[in-house]
């Protein structure tokens, strides 16, 4: 048998090696392991959420957004609205808040 | 219990139906996974993932295909995803090793021994499994489902969502490519 024939024979043997293969069987207690995996996945949801929030990119983006929002609020409050400003005089304040001077005389003489 | 009844019970969240499903299909899912990823621990992991996914998404099963076909599709896609993830990890480990840090590098054993192969044929089958890793993905899946899972061409076509003619063609090319790879291997390793 020459080399080529020998190689062809080996190739055929390899090709036929799985002709009568039987099914590989899963390890025992698969159902128990599946249940354990399901429970693990439930528990790890919050861990995953924490991990996601804790990622530098997410954390810094969140922080930046917070600072930006605060800056926007501060800037919008700082701008004076000239058109709507009103000068409060002592009289308008008195009218608005009904300032009165309470005296002992007033409280004791409730009857007319 | 037939497949449609089992599906209805699963969709109603029946725990005993899920137990029956795992009992009945675990070896099929495991054998498909182990034949694709060629690693018993990884196949065990994939088998668990497949059943978790079935439990979570059985409500979306509309019955357009046979339940077993649906299960095979999940098993095949999970196994392929696992392989891709592993390859990515390997590449990342390689890049890390270039920069001097010790990346976690997990290697497949050089030769995989399928547990269902007869003892006297294990060596030859190991060489065939190595060659199987060198051929295109679709050809490999068709070959695996037909030769290692014993599915007919028609069933393989349904699982792969293709035509019977396409499967015949894939099988023909798979055999041809496997023979080429094996010839190359023996040419290099036999004096």
Assign B98 a pLDDT band (cuts: 50, 70, 90): confident
Predicted pLDDT of residue A109: 59
pLDDT digits (tens, 9 = 90+) for A72-104: 999 888 766 555 555 666 677 667 776 666 666
Check pLDDT > 60 for residue B185: yes
DSSP letters spanning B92-120: HHHHHHHTTS--------SS---TTS-GG
**In the prediction, which pLDDT does B111 show?**
74
Q: How many helices (H) and strands (E) does chain B have?
A: 8, 0
Question: How many Cβ contacts (< 8 angstroms) between chains A and B?
Answer: 97
**Tokens representing B23?**
């009992």
- Same domain membership, residue B86 and residue B47: yes
Q: Is it the case that residue B157 has pLDDT exceeding 70?
A: yes
B155-159: average pLDDT = 97
Q: What is the pLDDT of residue B107?
A: 52
Q: Is the Cβ pair B116, A23 closer than 8 Å? A: yes
Q: Which residue of B has its CA nearest to A34?
A: B48
**Interface probe with B: pick from A17, A31, A38, A42, most Cβ of B within 10 Å:** A17
**Which is higher by pLDDT, A59 or A51?**
A59
Residues B4, B75: one domain?
yes
**B27·A24 Cβ contact <8 A:** yes
Of B78, B108, B138, the one marking the end of a domain is B108
CA–CA gap between residue B54 and residue B60 (Å, rounded): 10
- If asked whether residues B98 and B118 sit together in one domain, one would say no
Q: Between A2 and B131, where is the model more confident?
A: B131
pLDDT range class, residue B148, cuts 50, 70, 90: very high
Are B139 and B189 found together in one domain? yes
| CA nearest neighbour of B146 among B122, B130, B131, B164 | B164
Task: Name the domain boundary from B108, B135, B150.
Answer: B108
Q: What is the pLDDT of residue B169?
A: 97
List the Cα angle B71/B5/B161 in 5-degree steps.
30
Same domain, B43 and B55: yes
* Residue ranges of domains in chain A: 29-77
CATH number of domain containing B67: 1.10.1740.10
- In this complex, the residue of A11, A23, A30 whose CB is nearest that of residue B31 is A23
Chain B residue with Cα closest to A25: B27
Nearest CA in chain A to B20: A31
Q: Is 60 exceeded by the pLDDT of residue B109?
A: no
pTM: 0.74
The percent of residues above 70 in pLDDT, for chain A, comes to: 72
Q: Do B65 and B119 fall within a single domain?
A: no
Both B169 and B118 in one domain: the answer is: yes
Nearby residues of B83 by Cβ (< 8 Å), 6 or more positions away: B36, B37
* pLDDT band per the 50, 70, 90 thresholds, residue A107: low
The yes-or-no verdict on residue B87 having pLDDT over 90 is: no
pLDDT band of A14, cuts 50, 70, 90: very high
Q: What pLDDT sits at residue A53? A: 81
Selected residue of A21, A32, A40, A44 to mutate for chain B interface (largest B Cβ count, 10 A): A21
Read off the CATH number of the domain in which B127 is found: 1.10.10.10
User: What is the tally of structural domains in chain B?
Assistant: 2
Note down the domain range covering B24.
Answer: 1-108
- Mean pLDDT, to the nearest integer, of A37-58? 80
Taking the C-alpha atoms of residue A37 and residue B48, their distance in angstroms, rounded to an integer, is 8
Q: What is the DSSP letter of A82?
A: G
Task: Choose one of B55, B85, B108: the last residue of a domain.
Answer: B108
Residue B102 pLDDT: 54
Q: Nearest-5° angle of CA B141, CA B145, CA B147?
A: 110
Q: For B21-46, what is each residue's pLDDT tens digit?
A: 999 999 999 999 999 999 999 999 99
Mean pLDDT of chain B: 90
Q: Residues B37, B120: one domain? A: no
Q: Is B95 in the same domain as B145?
A: no
């Amino acid at each position: 048998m020459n080399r080529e024939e020998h190689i062809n024979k080996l190739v055929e043997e390899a090709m036929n090696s799985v002709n009568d293969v039987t099914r590989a069987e899963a390890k025992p207690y698969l159902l128990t392991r599946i249940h354990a995996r399901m429970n693990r996945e439930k528990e790890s949801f919050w861990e995953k959420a924490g991990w996601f929030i804790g990622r530098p990119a997410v954390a810094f983006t969140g922080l930046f957004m917070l600072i930006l929002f605060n800056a926007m609020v501060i800037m919008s409050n700082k701008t004076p609205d000239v058109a709507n400003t009103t000068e409060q005089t002592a009289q308008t304040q008195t009218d608005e808040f009904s300032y009165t001077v309470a005296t002992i005389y007033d409280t004791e003489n409730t009857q007319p | 219990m037939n497949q449609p009844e089992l599906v209805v019970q699963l969709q109603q969240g029946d725990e005993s139906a899920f137990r029956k499903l795992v009992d009945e299909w675990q070896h099929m899912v495991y054998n498909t996974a182990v034949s694709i990823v060629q690693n018993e621990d990884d196949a065990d992991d994939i088998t668990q993932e497949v059943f978790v996914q079935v439990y979570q998404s059985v409500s979306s099963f509309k019955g357009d295909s046979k339940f077993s076909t649906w299960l095979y599709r999940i098993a095949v896609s999970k196994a392929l995803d696992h392989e891709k993830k592993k390859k990515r990890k390997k590449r990342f480990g390689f890049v890390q090793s270039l920069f001097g840090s010790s990346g976690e590098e997990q290697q497949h054993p050089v030769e995989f021994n399928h547990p269902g192969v007869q003892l006297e044929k294990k060596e030859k089958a190991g060489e065939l499994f190595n060659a199987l890793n060198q051929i295109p993905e679709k050809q490999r899946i068709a070959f695996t489902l037909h030769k290692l899972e014993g599915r007919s061409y028609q069933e393989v076509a349904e699982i792969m969502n293709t035509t019977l003619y396409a499967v015949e063609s894939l099988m023909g090319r798979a055999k041809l490519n496997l023979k080429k790879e094996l010839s190359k291997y023996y040419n290099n390793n036999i004096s």
